[in-house]
Amino acid sequence: MKLSVAEIETMERAALVAAWDHLFGVSVPKSLSQAFLRRFLAFEIQARRTGGLPKGFVADLERRASGRGPASSPALKPGGRLLREWNGVTHEVEVTETGYFWNRETYPSLSAVARAITGAHWSGPRFFGLKEGS
């Protein structure tokens, strides 16, 4: 069954359900609306034609679904620099062998730097955009 997005736009529910069964090999969940079925099928057809989902997407989705969260940030290496704008001021932090250098002082962790900059408790990796939620 070779479908186009244009064909999906005009299909009745029974035809959409048959297309779902053909594409996924399972019955369509009963609570899905016709509009959602159309959007989902159109997306799937386009994704399959363009080579599927981006590399790593499925593994990341499975990792998150299992509760393990996102992959960890790459390790910071000495000599690296982090920039963060806070209240109109750009802060530059240098990664050193012994910690993080900011404002002529070395801190043991990024969280300590973030606390010094903001005056509040922050996750350093989150504050500097190295983890989700920033």
Angstrom CA distances, 102 to 38, 75, 78, 87, stand at 53, 19, 14, 17
Give pLDDT, residue 71. 55
- Helix orientation angle between 34-49 and 13-24, rounded to the nearest 10 degrees: 40
Of 6-20, 21-35, 53-67, 82-96, least confident by mean pLDDT is 53-67
Mean pLDDT of the 83-89 span: 93
Residue 5 pLDDT exceeds 70: yes
